[in-house]
């Protein structure tokens, strides 16, 4: 039986999750795809209930699921808590414990939303970029780390940016395989002009590329990549990079598409077990107001169908349903340029579910 653990989380997380569940339910009704759904708490929600951002019970349930659907975590309510107990820690622990090293962050511009981008429409029309971000290594997890008092009696904060060869090899394979299924162009982003760890990264990417002769591998320094993303984003097909560079570049890429509210993500381990989440945060300023865009969460379901369950046809059904409601002019506030029909979170979810039921 396909097992999914749903973690609604904080802020707008529960609302976008509820809207996405309506779509999931419609999918189950039309397709006969079966799913055993369980629920858990993560982040602030878990801190309030259990005193920790990720309980052992939730972690073991996550390990026991094929896929996890996550809303969002964090918010000002928990900002003052000590670092080890912050909501984000729960997310990072889940990534680490499930070994979800391969983070796929597509930046796809729905043609209906070209005007919502902060770039000129012609620069982004047709944009379809995939960022493959290494997610369980690098500076996020490197040791030693901490804040100490140094010999001069001054406070000193430090983190470690390190990658082992095997960590680079596995994310390289992940990225090359994605590139094989697309336009067969892979760009590796590093800072090899300054960092030894990047030198190794680049060397290993080259070595692995020998196994994928059909994929054209190129390299770019991260500062240039940031600039090129804004200058001419359509030059890219698949980008692979380290944990922190990927964190930054994927936020920049998301804005090219008009709204961070449109973008899903997948975090996968070697067994295709995955955590699926919108790349937007918990947006506490609009939480509980039925204003959030649930489409990133709904598209996360599509990624789950594709990458964990290999249900490509069903995934396309969800994508088409999203496209249909955009064609119909339905817009949440974040993607509304004034010409569309403004709808709330729940209504958007229902509209996608209806599109699924009528098309599917």
Q: Which two tokens stand for residue 359?
A: 């098309």
CB 64 within 8 A of CB 36: no
Known catalytic membership, residue 191: yes
Q: How far is the CB of 88 from ligand IPM (least distance, A)?
A: 4
**What φ, ψ does residue 92 adopt, rounded to 5°?**
-65, -35
User: Nearest residue by C-beta to ligand IPM?
Assistant: 88
State the binding string over 240-259 for ligand IPM (x if CB under 6 A, else -): -------x------------
Contact status: 134 vs ligand IPM (CB under 6 A)? no
319 is catalytic: no
Smallest distance from ligand IPM to CB 281, Å: 7
Determine how β-strand 185-190 pairs with β-strand 238-241.
parallel
Bridge partners (DSSP) listed for residue 104: 132, 266
Looking at residues 25 to 64 of the shown chain, list those that interact with ligand IPM (rule: CB under 6 A). none
Q: Which is nearer to ligand IPM, 78 or 212 (CB)?
A: 78
Q: Which residues 6+ apart lie within 8 Å of 61 measured at CB?
A: 5, 38, 40
Contacts of 263 (CB under 8 A, 6+ apart): 105, 106, 107, 108, 254, 257, 278, 279, 280, 296, 299
14 or 43, CB closer to ligand IPM?
A: 43
For residue 237, indicate whether it is catalytic: no
Interaction mask 59-88, ligand IPM, x per CB under 6 A: -----------------------------x
Say which of 140, 212, 276, 307 is annotated catalytic. 140
Residue 91 contacts ligand IPM per CB under 6 A: yes
| Binders in 240-269 for Mg ion, by CB under 5 A | 247
At residue 42, φ and ψ (nearest 5 deg) are: -145, 150
Told to judge if 247 belongs to the known catalytic residues of this protein, a careful annotator would answer: yes
Gap between the Cα atoms of 89 and 80, Å rounded: 14
SS3 of 225-240: the string is HHHHHHHCHHHCCEEE
- Closest CB to Mg ion among residues 9, 349: 9
Active site residue 128: no
**Annotated catalytic residue, options 10, 163, 190, 191:** 191
Taking a C-beta distance cutoff of 8 angstroms, is the pair 12, 45 a contact?
Answer: no
The tokens for 56 are 């052992």
**Exactly one of 48, 64, 79, 223 is catalytic; which is it?**
223
Q: Annotated active-site positions, please?
A: 140, 191, 223, 247, 251
Interface residues with Mg ion (CB under 5 A)?
Answer: 247
Interface residues with ligand IPM (CB under 6 A)?
Answer: 88, 91-92, 247
């Amino acid at each position: 039986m396909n097992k999914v653990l749903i973690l609604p989380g904080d802020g707008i997380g529960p609302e976008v999750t509820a809207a996405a569940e309506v779509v999931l339910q419609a999918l189950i009704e039309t397709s006969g795809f079966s799913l055993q759904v369980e629920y858990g708490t993560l982040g602030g929600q878990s801190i309030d209930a259990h005193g920790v951002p990720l309980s052992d019970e939730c972690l073991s349930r996550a390990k026991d699921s094929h896929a996890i659907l996550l809303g969002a975590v964090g918010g000002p309510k928990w900002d003052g808590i000590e670092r080890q107990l912050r909501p984000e820690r729960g997310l990072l622990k889940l990534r680490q414990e499930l070994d979800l090293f391969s983070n796929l962050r597509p930046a796809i511009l729905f043609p209906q939303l070209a005007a919502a981008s902060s770039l000129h429409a012609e620069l982004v029309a047709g944009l379809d970029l995939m960022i493959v971000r290494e997610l369980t290594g690098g500076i996020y997890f490197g040791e030693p780390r901490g804040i100490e008092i140094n010999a001069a009696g001054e406070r000193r904060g430090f983190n470690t940016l390190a990658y082992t060869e095997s960590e680079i090899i596995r994310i390289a394979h992940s990225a090359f395989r994605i590139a094989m299924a697309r336009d067969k162009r892979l760009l590796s982003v590093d800072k090899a002009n300054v960092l030894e760890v990047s030198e190794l990264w680049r060397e290993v990417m080259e070595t692995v590329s020998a196994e994928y002769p059909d994929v054209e591998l190129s390299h770019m320094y991260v500062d240039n990549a940031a600039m090129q993303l804004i200058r001419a984003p359509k030059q890219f097909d698949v980008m692979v990079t380290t944990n922190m560079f990927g964190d930054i570049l994927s936020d920049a890429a998301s804005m090219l598409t008009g709204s961070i509210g449109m973008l899903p993500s997948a975090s996968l381990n070697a067994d295709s077990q995955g955590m699926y989440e919108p790349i937007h945060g918990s947006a506490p300023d609009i939480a509980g107001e039925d204003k959030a865009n649930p489409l990133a969460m709904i598209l996360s379901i599509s990624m789950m169908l594709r990458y964990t369950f290999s249900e490509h046809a069903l995934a396309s059904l969800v994508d088409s349903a999203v496209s249909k409601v955009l064609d119909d002019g339905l817009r949440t506030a974040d993607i509304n340029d004034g010409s569309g029909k403004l709808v709330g979170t729940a209504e958007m979810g229902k509209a996608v579910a209806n599109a699924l039921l009528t098309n599917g």
